[in-house]
Structure 1
Amino acid sequence: MSLKVISAGFGRTGTMSLKLALEQLLGAPCHHMEEVVKNGPEQVPLWNDAVDGKADWNAIYDGFSSAVDWPTAAFWRDVHAAFPEAKMILSTRSAESWWKSFSNTILPSLLDERGPPPHLQGWIEMVKKVVIGRSLGGMTDKDGAIAAFEAHEAAVKAAYPEGRLLVHEAKDGWEPLCAFLGVPVPDTPYPRTNSTDEFHELMKSFVEGPQ
């Protein structure tokens, strides 16, 4: 299966909602950071290879028809070069609201001095390299992270002529997404999920591991 849709948006820009929406529209799995943590033994080494410039994109995205969120967002140029027919989306929100969400969810998990439990150690180290190192340029303060966020979005927008990229906020719902993909609008509400509280519940389940 080849990727049909790629989103370059950072985590906390409605990526979980977009994942669920794309799975509903395309009828196939969408790659998201959740897939990486759930399948760490297979996925983490592949993403470490990507960080080292030795990506096997076909192996990473085997079985997926779309990809959103980190780690994909940190490699959007390379991923689209590997799947040039895929449609490009930039999931987005205001920089201030992104920082508020990111700094209350993902960032504390990466900067926690207590460290992760052993079964998540490799995953956390990879995510630090992808998110803090590659996407944020090492910046973890508000001004630095927002500057990286804005520079990333500007680069994505500059890379595609009008009509080749959909800039999408969760509040935009189904209509622009379905028009861009050329599919009918579902008669169900657009997914709304992964609030800050839901993120913490999800992370708690990952930390606790299989029971």
Structure 2
Amino acid sequence: MNNPFWGFCEWFYAFPEPPPRVRTKPMQVICVGLPRSGTESLQHALITLGYDYTYHGWDIMFEDTLHIQGWVRLARKKWFSQYGGGDCTITAAEFDALLGHSVAVTDAAASCFAAEMIAAYPEAKVILNVRGDIDKWYESAVKNLCHKINDQWGLWLLSWFSSELWWMWHVYERFLWMRLFRCSDSSLQSGLVYCGKFIYREHSAMIRGLVPSERLLEWKVEDGWVPLCKFLGKEVPHGQPFPRANDAAGFQGRIEDMLRKHRRIVFKNMFLSFACFVAVVAFVWKLVN
């Protein structure tokens, strides 16, 4: 990922970035469980408890696309820096530039940078959200992350004709998911499919080793409100069922919404690219004949 080709692509697809965010409220909760571990349900629950805004990995792609380039820079600093001396430190100011409007964070935005966020925000409480059955987590992760996204070559092809789609694919499929699951090539299969359960266990063990017990809650969606509210010092919402979100159908719906949003610009750029290609071929053919 450090070769000139990707540097050129990042320059070619770059778009103007907004100014860095400024933190006005402290980061309070970091939810470091892997994707497909009840992350969106937990996001909704935290917002209900007053942690507004709680940032989710979906926000990188769907609500916060202007900051995607910033997430790629953090990923490069963590996994591809030539100047870190074999280590990586990301400061609170660097995270705040992307998360300054949030008081909590969950999903890939937190799990990919778990150790760095835990160190950057020492006062924040940490939730290790897990699945009760690791086999069900593995099945869900492979089905949704691999088969519904990573294996979709049509989606990969379309990404080359839209700056936003290109960065969406770039940040997750070349950086966050690929590094989180230690993929050895451009396919999630080499990491998630072959080693997913081992990586899941190792990630959980790392969190337990990094965070003192009084600062850490290990929690799953089935546990509901009570342990979560006790840990956070909040009242249990009266008469309100615990939110359930981001099931398989909802996940697929998000992907379809993304494609629908960008379809017009993608096909417009495909047509223009094809027209330019035909014009160049015709010009060259005319020169040589």
Work out whether the TM-score is over 0.5.
Answer: yes
2:181–2:192 CA contact under 8 A, matched in 1: no
Between the aligned partners of 2:128 and 2:113, the Cα distance in structure 1 is 13
**Alignment match, 2:17:** none
- Give the count of matched residue pairs: 210
Is 1:45 equivalent to 2:87 in the alignment? no
**Alignment match, 2:49:** 25
**Alignment match, 1:122:** 167
Q: Amino acid of the residue matched to residue 206 of structure 1?
A: M
1:131 corresponds to which of 167, 177, 200: 177
Is 1:196 equivalent to 2:285 in the alignment? no
Between the aligned partners of 2:64 and 2:214, the Cα distance in structure 1 is 36
Is 1:4 equivalent to 2:20 in the alignment? no
Deviates most, 106-115 or 121-130? 106-115
**Alignment match, 1:104:** 143
Structure with more of its chain in helix, by fraction: 2
Equivalent position SS for 1:176: helix
Q: C-alpha deviations, 1:44-69, integer Å up to 9, x for none?
A: 11111111228520111121110000
TM normalised by structure 2 equals: 0.69
2:68–2:171 CA contact under 8 A, matched in 1: yes
Q: Amino acid of the residue matched to residue 250 of structure 2?
A: E
Between the aligned partners of 1:150 and 1:7, the Cα distance in structure 2 is 16
**Alignment match, 1:59:** 97
TM normalised by structure 1 equals: 0.93
- Superposition RMSD in Å: 1.7
Shift of 1:150: 1.2
1:138-157 → structure 2 map (5 Å cutoff): 138=183, 139-157=190-208
1:15–1:91 CA contact under 8 A, matched in 2: yes
Between the aligned partners of 1:66 and 1:80, the Cα distance in structure 2 is 12
Equivalent position SS for 2:44: helix
**Alignment match, 1:74:** 112
Shift of 1:40: 4.6
Equivalent position SS for 1:53: helix
Identity %: 24
1:175–1:185 CA contact under 8 A, matched in 2: yes
Q: C-alpha deviations, 1:117-172, integer Å up to 9, x for none?
A: 43322111111211122x11114353412111111111111212322211110010
Runs (4+) of structure 1 exceeding 6 A deviation are none
Equivalent position SS for 1:209: helix
Q: Where do 5+ consecutive residues of structure 1 fail to align?
A: none
